[in-house]
Amino acid sequence: MKRRKLVALISQKGGAGKTTVTMQLAAGLAERGFSVAIADLDPQESALRWSESASPEKPFPALVARIGGDAEALRAQVKTLGHKCDFVLLDCPPSIEHPHSEGALDLADLALVPVVPSPPDLWSARAMERFILSRMSVRKGLTGALLPNRVQRTALSGSVLEVMRDFSLPVIGAALTQRNAYAQSAVLGGSVFQMGKSAQAAQEEVERLVSAVLGLLGHR
Ligand SMILES: Nc1ncnc2c1ncn2[C@@H]1O[C@H](COP(=O)(O)OP(=O)(O)OP(=O)(O)O)[C@@H](O)[C@H]1O
Ligand SMILES: [Mg+2]
């Protein structure tokens, strides 16, 4: 790849999985040999706390930096992180109104929207899609995609995924299903990759997600 890539995990809906996907994707990219930094843009500081839960013997495989300040500070701090690594993942606050949501879309190469297959998540994904499409119309370097998360084998999940096909943004085929391993790895301050065979299915999902993200970024 020519230069470091910036991926924003963004959704208007709280609890859609922005932080979970950020941490697993970071670990999955690190497994492939990439250096990764995470910019925690959320005042809740979940990504930072997640990484701080790691033991000193097994640190989280990406640098996590809490980013505050205004849009200019965001740009400068993300630029500095980008000097140090191949990927910067931006874990956004759960609000379109937060200035760092727009700031993240002004910097990102890819905006990924985790969407839990439920009607309220779908409605707020519509609003986020409009937001991303409007930024894409003024920034040709930005692309966007929807990522189904917490998918279950239920009729509701199936019909919501069906509706998502009508969105303008592409839906990533490599969805993450509902699995305890994703939540448990937060307790360890790590990722599903350090959980051994019991988390093999989750590891395979994250590996497919990494491949899909690299594909969207034009990485061959
Ligand atoms: N695929 C999954 N399987 C099981 N649990 C999940 C999955 N994705 C997320 N969760 C759980 O859902 C909750 C919300 O996830 P997370 O904190 O990643 O969402 P978020 O979008 O970052 O939330 P916020 O908007 O508050 O920042 C957490 O308890 C997390 O462990
Ligand atoms: Mg979060």
Host domain of residue 157? 5-216
Is the confidence at residue 2, as pLDDT, over 60? no
Q: How many domains does the chain have?
A: 1
Q: Ligand 1 within 6 A of 117 CB?
A: no
* Percent of the chain residues past pLDDT 70, beyond the cut: 99
**What CATH number corresponds to the domain at position 92?**
3.40.50.300
Is the confidence at residue 26, as pLDDT, over 80? yes
Phi and psi at residue 130, in whole multiples of 5°?
-60, -40
Give me the helix-helix angle, 119-138 and 99-107, nearest 10°.
Answer: 50
- Report residue 220's pLDDT band, with 50, 70 and 90 as the boundaries: low
CA-based torsion, 164, 207, 92, 142: positive or negative: negative
Q: Ligand 1 within 6 A of 201 CB?
A: no
- Report residue 219's pLDDT band, with 50, 70 and 90 as the boundaries: confident
Shortest-distance Cα residue to atom 29 of ligand 1: 183
Its pTM stands at 0.97
| Digit-coded pLDDT (tens) for 128-176 | 999 999 999 999 999 999 999 999 999 998 998 999 999 999 999 999 9
DSSP 171: B
Alpha-carbon distances of 150 from 82, 127, 205, rounded to whole Å: 30, 20, 12
Is the confidence at residue 217, as pLDDT, over 60? yes
Any idea of the CA torsion for 129, 134, 139, 141, to the nearest 10 degrees? Answer: 10
Q: Ligand 1 within 6 A of 124 CB?
A: no
Classify 49 as helix, strand or coil.
Answer: helix
CA dist., res. 117 & res. 83, Å (int):
36
CA dist., res. 35 & res. 87, Å (int):
7
CA dist., res. 99 & res. 19, Å (int):
18
